[in-house]
Amino acid sequence: MTTAANFDIAPFLGLTEGQHFERKSLFEGEPGKKKPRDRKSVRDQIVECVAAFANAEGGVAIFGLEDDGSVTGHRYPAEAVDEMLRAPSSRTQPALADGFRLTHEGKELLVFEVQVADAPVMVTGNGYPLRVGDSIVKMAEPKIRALKLEGLAESWGNRPSPMTMADLDNQLLTRAKEGSGYPGISDEEYLLKRKLADRKATGIALRHAAELLFARDPDHPNAGVRIFRVIGTERRVGTLYNVEERPRIEGPLPAVLDGAFAAVQSLLRKPSRLRGTRFKETPEYPEFAWREAILNAVAHRDYANQGRCIEVSLFDDHMDVTSPGGLLPEIRMAALRARERVHQSRNPRIVRALVDLGFMRDQGEGIPRLFAEMEGLFLPDPELESSESSFCLTLRNAPTLTTADGAFIGSLGSEDLSDLEFRALLEASRHGHIDNARMREIAGLDTLGASKLLIALRDRNLLVLHSAGASSYYELSERLTSANVALETLGASRSGDREAAPQAVGTSADAVEAPGDNRADSRGYQPELPGIPGLDLLG
């Protein structure tokens, strides 16, 4: 049974809400006038949250924490707290485990450590909730059952492994236990808690997922990653063969990920590109984007297909990450391309352990943020292709800044902006406005972080707030819009001058150079940005 005695809250205090973590305050009202929340609404929220975790991949819910992670506890009498802690077992079918009390910084918290359920869990009288990212959605019981059948019953990782505890890496298990909040439990208890093993009369029986994650030498011929450097923009054969394969990366999945990240990092070029309002040496793909592509491949590939590895191919103009196994039936390609948060995992036990190990940030961002990161560096949207036997994600490195973007950048003048501040303003320029939800999407921030960034831009007279409660949004200030209009007019005028007398054209964005441009790259790569009217007006 989970108790406060063996639970460490430290890993969760600074953690952002996501697929496996939820925090809730037990107070409401304005600062300085806080009062305890209605007890019934708290019990309802506990039950829904716990059932949603059980229907997905499990998780931890802590009541008594504020949005910023500060510990505030509660002011309820003991009997009310007892009723809240018993809510999961009394109001879910099948009954889930109760929560427990935990004291931290002199404040009492209510903690619910939820295991993934083998069958759909219903909140009595209120249907079947499912955790998707940092949100909860209602889903029909047959759909949840299908998700569980695909991810828990049919996945290769769920099958019994012939390996024993002696084959596992104790250091990796210690790292996972610390990340899970249970550093003091035994290795066996951790594996049982994460359903990576089963208790049998003869001892602990491992599942293949435990073997892939923690075995020093997993018995899977192709659980690693192959990395290729292709000289040019397409593969050639025969006398024109242009592919260089790097050493195959193998071992337990944490070692595979670390090795793949390091190998790809060493192969990426760093042309000078626009960051904020200045040119800076920048990797050709956003770090989050290519790491997420590899992480998704490792976490969600079909390990039952033992004939193929994950393959990462770096061309001059794009990168492909291809993994065995197509999209699962419940995932629509259109939803991924539309940046919708989609939840279905072929390997839920592996995913949960990768969160414990610190590889997955557990913010439910994944593919949506990958798209946003590419957009934030003015690169094309990722390309997604799926077949019955494989899934491929392609990143391209040719910038996509437009003439309108150039005029807007010129309107910023010498304004000192961070990358995220610049992305917020460019988003407002491109789409007419920006709100907290969009800022979270493009920057990977939580609600509080996005709010602070947007408010700071408002205070600098760069954005204007249109207050409408939950529908509040920001627009560019008149100072920026006026300057933008003037620069667009100037750009059009310059364009006419160039048509009439091109020999008189002065220095433009086409001539911008900075350290790291690497124009003489032996592979013919041209990293400079396209010419943009107005860009030469930057200080």
Domains and CATH numbers, the chain: 4-151 (3.30.950.30), 157-214 (no CATH), 225-396 (3.30.565.60), 403-537 (1.10.10.10)
Residue 292 has what pLDDT?
Answer: 94
CA pair distance 335, 26, nearest whole angstrom: 35
Residue 534 has what pLDDT?
Answer: 33
CA pair distance 314, 290, nearest whole angstrom: 11
Among the listed ranges 203-207, 232-236, 342-346, which one has the minimum average pLDDT value? 342-346
Query: ∠ at Cα 361 (12, 22), nearest 5°?
Result: 45
Percentage of residues of the chain with pLDDT beyond 90: 55
Give this prediction's pTM. 0.71
Tell me which residue has tokens 């079947």: 128
pLDDT band at 497 (very low <50, low <70, confident <90, very high): very low
CA pair distance 491, 404, nearest whole angstrom: 10
Cβ neighbour number for residue 139 with a 10 Å cutoff: 20
> If we measure between CA atoms, which residue out of 334, 368, 335, 291 comes closest to residue 133?
368
**SS3 (DSSP) at 403:** helix
Q: Does the pLDDT of residue 148 top 90, yes or no?
A: no
Rounded to the nearest integer, the mean pLDDT of the chain is: 84
Residue 403 has what pLDDT?
Answer: 79
Work out the average pLDDT over 178-198: 93
Cis peptide before 94 (omega within 30 of 0): yes
Instruction: Answer with the residue of higher pLDDT: 228 or 507.
Output: 228
- What would the pLDDT profile of 466-476 be if each residue is shown by its tens digit? 998 889 999 99
CB 256 within 8 A of CB 223: yes
Q: Does the pLDDT of residue 386 top 80, yes or no?
A: yes
Residue 270 has what pLDDT?
Answer: 83
Angle, helix 436-443 to helix 419-431, in steps of 10 degrees: 130
Among the listed ranges 197-206, 221-230, 266-275, 465-474, which one has the minimum average pLDDT value? 266-275
Query: ∠ at Cα 355 (350, 361), nearest 5°?
Result: 135
Tell me which residue has tokens 């610049």: 422
Among the listed ranges 355-359, 433-437, 503-507, which one has the minimum average pLDDT value? 503-507
Strand order through the sheet with 21-24: 21-24, 59-63, 107-114, 100-104
pLDDT band at 526 (very low <50, low <70, confident <90, very high): very low
CA pair distance 504, 266, nearest whole angstrom: 43
Residue 304 has what pLDDT?
Answer: 93
CA pair distance 151, 299, nearest whole angstrom: 12
Residue 419 has what pLDDT?
Answer: 82
Among the listed ranges 139-153, 293-307, 477-491, 514-528, which one has the minimum average pLDDT value? 514-528
